[in-house]
Amino acid sequence: MGLEERMLLSDFTVMCDYCRRKYRISSDSLNIDYACSECSMGTEIQHIFCGEMECRCGNKMSYTITAVEYPEGAYNSHVCESIGCAYVGKPCAEMADNLPIPILSIYEEILQNPEYVYKLKPCEFEQFVADVFRRVGYNADVTQKTRDGGKDIVATFEIGRVLYTTYFECKRYAPDRPVGVNLVRELYGVVDRERVDKGVIVTTSYFTKDAVAEAERLNGRIRLIGLDELRELMQ
């Protein structure tokens, strides 16, 4: 396996510092460079992904993600830098050998047996929800758990080269454990603070009356999706 195949980077979204338009960046469009050095545990390899573009407002934007492989064969960390723009959700990097197990089998299992969703671990449920929304046209990335910043998934939908961003919170709860109003308020706080277009809460249970009322009061900025609606999206 060559160096160009060892480290994988997810697609990501950047937002112009001036007009705040959002653009989806394909990892395949980036230039890749490498830097190697010898350390106490062997060779450290820096995989450097970089690119640039001009916003429709004329602002020039550039972005660089440096993913560190150390010791050789193991993902260590990655750093995101930008000029003229900001990242909307941090890109994910991982070694090719450590890719998550494809979740197509989970999707198919739930199609055949809806109750299987309650056997999923919370992280598996997040991957499943991201997969559902990819299939209806979104670009959806599950965030890193240590720094998710109050959202489990960052998803975008492109209309006329402008990207609209949605943050998802996923709650794999037992059927008798409702999602309350506090989570609605917390997600709205993140959506409002980070100036994204919408927030969505997806659960395997149901929402309290106060949660539903609060979402309605926020005029569509927060959408609530229960298991029945999630199943409808899969049809």
Q: How confident is the model at residue 113 (pLDDT cuts 50, 70, 90)?
A: confident
Q: Which residues contact 29 (CB under 8 A, 6 or more apart)?
A: 51
Q: Is the pLDDT of residue 6 over 50?
A: yes
- What is the rounded CA–CA span in Å between residue 56 and residue 53? 10
Q: Is the pLDDT of residue 213 over 80?
A: yes
Which residue spans of the chain are classified as CATH 3.40.1350.10? 104-233
Task: Please state whether the peptide bond connecting residue 178 to the residue before it is cis, i.e. omega within 30 degrees of 0.
Answer: no
Q: 0.75 exceeded by the pTM?
A: no
Stretch 11-20: mean pLDDT: 93
- What is the rounded CA–CA span in Å between residue 191 and residue 181? 15
Secondary structure (3-state) at 232: helix
Stretch 67-90: mean pLDDT: 86
Cα 58 to chain center, whole Å? Answer: 27
CATH number attached to the domain at 104-233: 3.40.1350.10
Stretch 5-26: mean pLDDT: 89
* Residue pLDDT, tens place only, 123-147: 789 889 988 998 889 988 888 664 5
Cβ neighbours, 10 Å, residue 169: 23
- What is the rounded CA–CA span in Å between residue 173 and residue 51? 41
Stretch 44-66: mean pLDDT: 94
